[in-house]
Amino acid sequence: MWHDMTALQLGREIAGGVIDPVDLAEHFLERIATLDAEGRIFIRLSEDRTRAEAQAARRRQRQGAGRGPLDGVPVSWKDLVDVAGVETTMAARALEGRVPERDGVLLQRATQAGTVFLGKTNMTEFAFSGLGINTTHGTPANAHDTTVDRIPGGSSSGAGVAVARGLGPIAIGSDTGGSVRIPASLNGVVGLKTTIGALPMDGVMPLASLFDTIGPLTADVADAAAMWSVLSGRPMADLDGARITGKRLVAVASPMWRGIDEGIDHACRQALSRLEAAGADVEWQDVDEFAQAMDVAGRLITTDAWSRWSGVVSDRPDRIFPFMLPRFLSGKAQAGHEVLEILRELDSLAGRLHRRMGGCDALVAPTVRIGAPRIADLLDDEKAYREANAGMLANTTPGNLLKVCAVTLPCGKDASGMPAGLMLMQRPGREEALLRLAGAVEAAGTTQLPS
């Protein structure tokens, strides 16, 4: 079925005249209507736009005027990317009624490349949590537990679930402290965290402008590479012939393997063993820069978020999720001179880390240390909510603070049968090299999409 195919496979079939882009768009709209009837995954559709863009792709195909490998392929967008004429509110009740007049720059680029706008996906309100819980629109349940509603991961919750459940081949998310990688990991898909500043953020509603990035969630590495090329305007990473033999990987023993769930630990270690068997050189090291960054700047994202949203939070506190409100308010604590001192220290730590990374092909760690808790267990227990959120963000946020690019790949299952993710990290601006390495990991049979 079309929903089991990758984006590039769909693009090739469209280009070859085998798949009609209009039929493909209708296929995914019907799946969304059937499998997301409550609107917890997709919170806004624009079916007229979807159909019009699919019809334009059909005309291009018939005229032999395709715009690239993703022409005619549906793509969903997190509800913080502006879509002209469509309410865009970061899925937050406090921002209801905000309707932008023009598309964000990245959506403009994707439309020019021929992709078809599929709809707006759900997210944590204001993108301010790694759990994915949303009490305004409802929380999309994790795609891999059919008996219990577990968190999807956040903040790009709808994006991760949409790809995992076959409601669209590519979803665009954002990552400020892990918000692409966490839902990708928990839902068993690929997620690319791009370098800060690599993509234009015009038309993207910010959480913390110092650290916000945009990236795709996809079924495989090739799709991530194709969408990265569309968003960045850079040539697509060459994945042909990518092999893991001779690659040097540094497993981040501390802090990223500390306090890890036993099942996730086993899945990630097994993945590294398979890579070693395929010819990789895996070396375990403590990477103190990550822990130091969290010690120095663990609250900086919160401070940045408060500087951006203090007016809305102060004016409409009753419209903010109660467990989120104290975190927003804590952003008042750091004075301006403290922020500048922290930024200088982060620059120093980032320089040290990037020099260390120059000696290997990637740093490697579990994407998330803990399994996905039940949604119900977190809705009425603020302490459990805070602890779970901290656990979700522990391995991903240091990369944002220290400006790396990163990708998460599914690498097996934890003890409860839920997906586990393996994260690869590289120096800033090296997305193509990172994606080629991720392709080599994939080719080595390390990635295992949970069934």
Which residues are tagged catalytic? 78, 155, 179
Cα 363 to Cα 408: distance, rounded to the nearest angstrom: 12
Q: Provide the residue type at 368 as one letter.
A: V
CA atoms within 13 A on the CB side of 80: 29
What number of CA atoms fall less than 13 Å from residue 344's CA on the CB side?
A: 6
Q: Which three-class secondary structure string do you get for 74-101?
A: EEEEECCECECCECCCCCCHHHCCCCCC
Instruction: Write down the number of H helices and E strands in the chain.
Output: 16, 11
Round to whole Å and give the CA distance between 115 and 92: 27
CA distance 382 to 248: 42
Helix/strand/coil for 369: coil
Pairing of strands 419-426, 405-413: antiparallel
Give 300-335 as a 3 state SS string: HHHHHHHHHHHHHHHHCHHHCCCCCHHHHHHHHCCC
User: Which candidate, 253, 207, 259, 301, places its Cα nearest to that of 391?
Assistant: 259
